Amino acid sequence: MRHITVNAEHEYKVHIDEHFEGVLHDVSQSHSKVFILTTQYLADTYHIEKFLHPIDNAVIHIVSDGEHQKDISVLEGIWQAMAQAGLTRSDALVAIGGGATTDLGGFAAATWLRGISWYAIPTTLAAMVDASVGGKTGINSHAGKNLIGSFHSPSGVFVDLRFLKTLSDRDFAAGLAEVIKVGFIQDEEILNILQSRNTVDSAREVAEELIFRSISVKADVVSQDFHESKLREILNYGHTFGHALEKYSHYEMRHGEAVAVGLVFAAELSGKMIGLKDEIIDLHRSLLKQFGLPISTNVPFGPLLELMRSDKKSRGAMLRFIGLNSLENPHWLEDVSADLLQATYERIQA
Ligand code: GLY
């Protein structure tokens, strides 16, 4: 068992290889009431109610799977259930699920009574390495992905590696896109490890090490710049284009799949603007492709440009991206013209 400390608005730990049963038992005993947010599948498969003591002090609230749960109507339902349960400031929420559930649960905790404690038990690779750590919580809206949200760190994150056993190859690979991102921006060793693992099955064998390394980078960056005034933006490598593609697909694409294409886009843009070497650009394609992740798209460019303009990373009318100078050396690409984006897009068209 290993843990990593995050210093945000308060200090908390990410515990790796911690069994969820004990966590639920301890959390339910240390608050007079706990509000569990999870999906029907997880509640049924893992018999969550069995580990809440006493069960009378717990409420299990079921949400649907996937990105569509990050919706104001679902949040409204959570607020109503919290009111019905009489959840007070000293009570806590536990989000058990993928990244959408931890983003939504964290935001429900941030907004209820102006902020109650919450704990994350991520069940997908993407949630373990990215969504559950960092304290950004939120929902989607017509305006864009994650535009409504709050910085509200969990009191603890508990990674139970057993959840990965039932994760599909598609979902595991989607999580690997975030791991690969971390490799390019900050930890080349991740890329070395993955190069010798050319199938999803073989990457699963080193999941714990990949998770530890990815969370370590994230924790370090978030601890230095919790509110994303500058440094933390490097974690958005591949995300401006990725978010646009994900939203265009009406969230049919997994976040990690859209980010995979976004990483290739950001690498190509870096090649054009700051001379990122072709061999590094090619390494993006080969690593992502090796796990069956998409590296190109045929979505029309116009709508993607509009969606990129509404992304959080743009400032005013200027489009800005995180690029790469070389391995482990991210660079801020400012004031990128639409013409250059179009030319870059042509290089990633299917
Ligand atoms: N919830 C993801 C992050 O804080 O970066």
Instruction: Copy the structure tokens of residue 214.
Output: 């990815």
> Residue 99 C-alpha to ligand 1 middle, in angstroms?
9
- Point out which residues pair with 16 in neighbouring strands: 2, 159
> Residue 235 C-alpha to ligand 1 middle, in angstroms?
9
Shared-domain flag, residues 251 and 317 = yes
Q: Which of 165, 185, 211 is the last residue of a domain?
A: 165
pLDDT at 56: 84
pLDDT by residue (tens digit) across 185-218? 999 999 999 999 989 999 999 999 999 999 999 9
> Residue 287 C-alpha to ligand 1 middle, in angstroms?
24
Q: Which ligand 1 atom is nearest residue 102's CA? A: 1
Task: Give the CA angle between residues 342, 343, 347 to the nearest 5°.
Answer: 110
Shared-domain flag, residues 32 and 136 = yes
pLDDT by residue (tens digit) across 264-284? 999 999 999 999 999 999 999
Q: Which residue among 67, 107, 133, 146 has the greatest number of ligand 1 atoms within 8 angstroms of its CB, and so is best to mutate? A: 133
- Indicate which CATH number applies to the domain containing 77: 3.40.50.1970
> Residue 331 C-alpha to ligand 1 middle, in angstroms?
21
pLDDT at 316: 61
Helix, strand, coil percent values for the chain (each to nearest 5): 55, 20, 25
Query: Using an 8 Å Cβ cutoff, are 108 and 37 in contact?
Result: yes
Q: Which of 165, 196, 216 is the last residue of a domain?
A: 165
Atom 5 (ligand 1) nearest CA = 134
> Residue 350 C-alpha to ligand 1 middle, in angstroms?
30
Q: How far apart are CA 155 and CA 135, in angstroms?
A: 10
What phi and psi values does residue 316 have, to the nearest 5 degrees?
60, -135
Q: How many CB atoms lie within 10 A of CB 50?
A: 11
Atom 2 (ligand 1) nearest CA = 131
Shared-domain flag, residues 180 and 134 = no
> Residue 116 C-alpha to ligand 1 middle, in angstroms?
18
Shared-domain flag, residues 293 and 236 = yes
- Low-confidence stretches of the chain (pLDDT < 70) are 312-317
Query: Using an 8 Å Cβ cutoff, are 35 and 87 in contact?
Result: yes
Shared-domain flag, residues 210 and 138 = no
Fill in the DSSP letter of residue 128: I
* Omega prior to 122 cis, within 30 of 0: no
> Residue 343 C-alpha to ligand 1 middle, in angstroms?
31
Shared-domain flag, residues 198 and 138 = no
Structural domain boundaries enclosing 108? 2-165
Q: Which ligand 1 atom is nearest residue 151's CA? A: 4
Shared-domain flag, residues 146 and 208 = no
Q: How far apart are CA 100 and CA 69, in angstroms?
A: 7
Number of domains in the chain: 2
Shared-domain flag, residues 144 and 257 = no
Q: How many CB atoms lie within 10 A of CB 166?
A: 12
Shared-domain flag, residues 208 and 246 = yes
Shared-domain flag, residues 183 and 315 = yes
- Indicate which CATH number applies to the domain containing 300: 1.20.1090.10
Q: Which of 165, 194, 223 is the last residue of a domain?
A: 165
Pocket of ligand 1 (CB under 6 A): 103, 131, 134-136
Q: Which ligand 1 atom is nearest residue 134's CA? A: 4
Instruction: Copy the structure tokens of residue 290.
Output: 């090796």
pLDDT at 202: 97
pLDDT at 54: 83
Shared-domain flag, residues 336 and 192 = yes
Shared-domain flag, residues 195 and 267 = yes
Given the structure tokens 């559950």, which residue do they identify?
Answer: 132
